[in-house]
Amino acid sequence: MDVRELPVADAYEFVPPVFPDRRGLFVAPFQEPAFLRAVGHPLSVAQTNHSVSHAGVVRGVHFADTPPGQAKYVYCPRGALLDVVVDVRVGSPTFGRHAAVRLDSTDFRGVYLAEGLGHAFLALEDDTVLAYLCSTGYNPAAEHGVNPLDPALGLPWPADTEPVLSDKDAAAPTLAEARRDGILPRYEDCLARYDALRAAYAPSGA
């Protein structure tokens, strides 16, 4: 499995080998050895999510209070989508930047985003499925969002697509408003969380 760190710190793209034959294909979208080498600690999966979206649907930008935060490993088992990671961690050297990866059911690329990072995607085809491995369960009180159409973010949604948003995402604050209101994660808290996860793994991994 090939791994690439994305332009947003603490986010990675994983590219697994795909094995097609006359019956269909086989692929392992998540592989722990490659994940450990890249991230430095295991992914503890507390919840898996499965979304189905029509073409043009945008979900996000979503993030959770950190600590504990919610790390995500996502891949697309059906259809195609543009997956976007946004650095919403105040104090991060890549604050406000984004990284975009096409995920689809041909290459089965995966994206990992650490706790504190924002996540969004746009479905490029009808009936597009996104599978999520999440490090923590859903906690409504700790979940927040930034408007995916915030001009200051400049997210790379296709110009020929009219984004379809939920009422909640459409009403989400801009990045500047979210920062002003104090709902964004702090980079130092996120780093402390990553260090704690690596330290907890170190005794067994040493």
Tens-digit pLDDT profile for residues 103-137: 999 999 999 999 999 999 999 999 999 999 999 99
Q: Is residue 31 part of a domain?
A: no
pLDDT digits (tens, 9 = 90+) for 146-180: 999 999 999 999 999 999 999 999 999 999 999 99
**pLDDT given for residue 202 in this prediction:** 79
Q: Which run of H or of E encompasses 53? A: strand 47-53
Examine the pLDDT at 205 and tell me if it is beyond 90.
no
Within a domain: 177: yes
Domain assignment present for 183: yes
- The reply to whether 26 falls in a domain is no
Question: Is 187 noted as a catalytic residue in this protein?
Answer: no
Looking at residue 102, its pLDDT comes to 98
Has residue 86 got a pLDDT over 60? yes
Residue 204 has pLDDT above 90, yes or no: no
Share of the chain above pLDDT 70, in %: 98
49-70 pLDDT, tens digit per residue, is 999 999 999 999 999 999 999 9
Q: Mean pLDDT throughout 179-193?
A: 98
Indicate the number of domains in the chain. 1
Residue 32, in any domain of the structure: no
In whole angstroms, what is the distance from residue 135 CA to residue 51 CA? Answer: 17
Catalytic residue (one of 73, 98, 112, 132): 132
Average pLDDT value for the chain: 96
Q: Flag whether 24 is in a domain.
A: no
Which domain range does residue 178 map to?
Answer: 2-19+39-201
Residue pLDDT, tens place only, 37-48: 999 999 999 999
Catalytic residue among 62, 98, 119, 144: 62
In sign, the C-alpha dihedral spanning 29, 34, 39, 40 is positive
Question: Does residue 169 belong to any structural domain of this protein?
Answer: yes
Closest CA to 62 of 147, 166, 145, 183: 145
Give the span between the Cα atoms of 44 and 63, in whole angstroms. Answer: 18
206 pLDDT exceeds 80? no
- Which CATH number goes with the domain that contains 169? 2.60.120.10
**Is 180 among the domain residues?**
yes
Is 75 among the residues known to form the active site? no
Q: Looking at the predicted structure, is the pLDDT value of residue 99 above 50?
A: yes
Q: How would residue 203 be classed by pLDDT, with cut points 50, 70 and 90?
A: low
